[in-house]
Amino acid sequence: MVKTIKDEQPRTYFDCAKCPAYCCSIYDRVQVTKRDINRLAKHFGVSYETARRRYTKQWQDERVLKRVKDVIFEETCMFLDQETRGCTIYHARPGVCREYPARSRCAYYDVLQFERRQQDDETVIPVVQITYHEVKKKTTTADGGATEKVWEWEPEKA
C-alpha cells in the first residue's frame, strides 16, 4: 500500500523510542492544568486532591509534575520508566507532553544523532543542555519580506 504524507500529517524526523527522554528529564517543570490532574486521578483511580498532592507540586505560580533522581540525568519525571526510558502514563500524560516538540524535528534528537554519528557509537548518550532563543529572519515572500519567528538551538556539553 502506498503511503502518502499530507500537509496536515507532516513527517517527523525524530524517534522517541530511540531517545533517552531528554524532554522528560532536562525540563524541570512539566506544567499541569486541572484537566491534566483530573486525567491523572482517573488513570490511578484516586480523587483529584489525592492526584494533585501525590503527583504534582507547586513551583511559583505553576503546578508541575514531581521529579525523582535519574540514572542518566540529574533528575527526571516521576512517571518515566528509567529502564525503558518510556512514559509509564502515556495515555494519561499531561497536555504539554502530548504537544512536545510541536514541530517536525526535535533538537535533542538531532544532537543525539549527530553525536552518535560523530563518535560512530549508537550507544552514546550526550548529556546536553539546549538553549532556545528567538531570532528574526528576513524572508523573501510575495508580500515583500515579512519577518519570521524561528528558533535556534545551541548544544552545550554539560
- Tell me, by CB under 6 A, how many residues bind ligand SF4: 22
Q: Could you say which residues in the range 17-46 bind ligand SF4, by CB under 6 A?
A: 19, 21-24, 30
CA distance 40 to 94: 8
Least CB distance to ligand SF4 at residue 146 (A): 29
Beta bridge partners of 80: 87
Position 150, amino acid: V
CA distance 51 to 7: 38
Q: Could you say which residues in the range 52-81 bind ligand SF4, by CB under 6 A?
A: 65, 77, 79-80
Binding mask of the shown chain, residues 82 to 121, with x at each position contacting ligand SF4 by CB under 6 A = -----x-x---xx--x--xx----x-xx------------
Least CB distance to ligand SF4 at residue 35 (A): 14
From candidates 1, 16, 73, 146, binder to ligand SF4 by CB under 6 A? 16
Catalog residues that contact ligand SF4 under the rule CB under 6 A. Answer: 14, 16, 19, 21-24, 30, 65, 77, 79-80, 87, 89, 93-94, 97, 100-101, 106, 108-109
